[in-house]
Amino acid sequence: MSIVGTLAETLDGFVQRRLAEINVSIPGRVVSYDASKQSASVQPLIQRAFIKEDGTRGVENLPIIQAVPIAFPGAGSYGFTFPLTKGDTVMLLFSQASIDRWRATGGLVDPLDDNRHDLSDAVAIPGLRSFNEATDQVADAAVIFGPDIRLGSKDASELLALKSDMAAMKTQLDLHIHLGVTTGAGVSGVSTTVASAPTVLIYPAPVGTVKVKAE
């Protein structure tokens, strides 16, 4: 083997080893979630390969990464958040510089740590799913599903009516009549409904929503 060939192989091996130490992005699974800080403990889902002493290939789990900030969509005073639960999958992105001080204080900081692409400097983007975990969707609509959807803030509590609720109310009002009606200051009789009665009031077409709370 030539000296040039040996040098090239040595350099290639060195480069490959260095590249293996650079973390860029990887899928992960939420182990626990702190909603007050919007941070999670995340288990990377791609194992790391290594060569055993006997020359065979082995794999090992990467460690669980603690205090990973969750990158929810948002800007200015607007934001879109949703609860994360144990088992949810995310995409982990690894910063080119340490984010420890920035994570604690925000703003422009001196990291005081020269780590590069370290596992501890991860940020998680929620929503990543494998092909066999994909959710149902339609081609012509944005679908929001979940047991509780809030508009305005996390404290929104005013329930919005469903279209079906409004339609049922309109039907009842359309059939609503009073017996024993008198003129002047008289008091009508007890209200009742009839199987068929003319519509006495005109209501706008009911417009409803899904299960939503607003403020």
What is the DSSP secondary structure assignment for residue 106, as one 8-state letter?
Answer: -
Which range among 89-93, 123-127, 196-200 shows the weakest confidence by mean pLDDT? 196-200
d(CA 103, CA 21): 23
Segment 18-76, tens digit of pLDDT: 666 788 999 999 999 999 999 999 999 999 888 888 889 999 999 999 999 999 998 88
**The pLDDT of residue 197:** 47
Label residue 156 by pLDDT band (50, 70, 90).
Answer: confident
Question: Could you tell me which residue, 205 or 164, shows the higher pLDDT?
Answer: 164
Mean pLDDT, all residues of the chain: 80
**The pLDDT of residue 25:** 94
pLDDT exceeds 90 at position 189:
no
**The pLDDT of residue 201:** 46
Segment 200-214, tens digit of pLDDT: 444 455 455 546 777
Q: Who contacts 104 (Cβ-Cβ below 8 Å, separation ≥6)?
A: none
Strand locations in 57-97, DSSP E?
57-60, 65-69, 74-75, 78-79, 89-94
Domains detected in the chain: 23-134 (2.40.50.230), 159-214 (no CATH)
What number is the average pLDDT over the span 162-180?
A: 71
**The pLDDT of residue 183:** 66
**The pLDDT of residue 203:** 46
> What is the distance of C-alpha 15 from the center of its chain?
37
- Helices (H) and strands (E) counted in the chain, each on its own, are 3, 14
Label residue 181 by pLDDT band (50, 70, 90).
Answer: low
Segment 138-150, tens digit of pLDDT: 677 777 777 777 8
What number is the average pLDDT over the span 80-106?
A: 92
Q: pTM of this prediction? A: 0.66
